[in-house]
Chain A
Amino acid sequence: DQQVKQNSPSLSVQEGRISILNCDYTNSMFDYFLWYKKYPAEGPTFLISISSIKDKNEDGRFTVFLNKSAKHLSLHIVPSQPGDSAVYFCAASAFNQFYFGTGTSLTVIP
């Protein structure tokens, strides 16, 4: 039972443009949402998070939007850079347990 879904396995974006990665969830008990970035041969690294009581959180080029009524969150990267090319995992937390999506592979084309 996949409680966190990332329906786009891959995304290609031109350098300088906006990258939008999407994530849907089913469990209304999730109270915290996170995005992780993963390079090959490395573990996931924390990127940005948002509490369920907020609808937007911004950190530099990265912004996460949460739409609780739609059970949807998205990660915006502006402007996209070649170094952003990686696999991005959406994760949701309930009772300090984490549930990850299947990941979206982002390629930023120079």
Chain B
Amino acid sequence: DAGVTQSPTHLIKTRGQQVTLRCSPKSGHDTVSWYQQALGQGPQFIFQYYEEEERQRGNFPDRFSGHQFPNYSSELNVNALLLGDSALYLCASTPYGARVGVEQFFGPGTRLTVL
């Protein structure tokens, strides 16, 4: 049983470009959350998707958008990249209604570098 998978592993972009990161949740999970982890910081909640809709959102600008597909996989899109967007982007999946945090499984992350 594959866990949460993310692609690509690493990505290098330049300022102003757009990027799309992908996440496949753990089998049986239908809720996907995205986090940004800057160097030396803890993960920061970006948003959560369930039933192909954004259900909750953290304190991130509209440049950060997402999508969830019928197979529960998800994409994170970031437009007009800034140097400060350089970070590890983590995807986490959960069965809807699961105990808070306990059944949240994280992927290994995508390392985004903006030059």
Q: Which residues of A contact B (CB under 8 A)?
A: 4, 6, 32, 34, 36, 41-46, 49, 89, 91, 93, 95-103
Interface of B (DSSP majority class): loop
Given contacts A34-B102, A43-B92, contact A100 B107 (CB under 8 A): no
Beta-carbon contact of B102 and A46 below 8 Å? yes
Beta-carbon contact of A43 and B4 below 8 Å? yes
30 contacts between A and B (CB under 8 A): A32-B100, A32-B101, A34-B101, A36-B106, A41-B108, A42-B108, A43-B92, A43-B107, A43-B108, A43-B109, A44-B43, A44-B90, A44-B106, A45-B106, A46-B101, A46-B105, A49-B100, A49-B101, A49-B102, A89-B43, A91-B42, A95-B56, A96-B56, A98-B45, A98-B104, A100-B35, A100-B43, A101-B42, A102-B40, A103-B42
Q: How many residues of B contact A (CB 8 A)?
A: 24
Beta-carbon contact of B56 and A97 below 8 Å? yes
CA gap between A36 and B106 in the complex, in Å:
10
Beta-carbon contact of A93 and B42 below 8 Å? no
Q: Which residues of B contact A (CB under 8 A)?
A: 4, 33, 35, 40-45, 48, 56, 58, 90, 92, 100-109
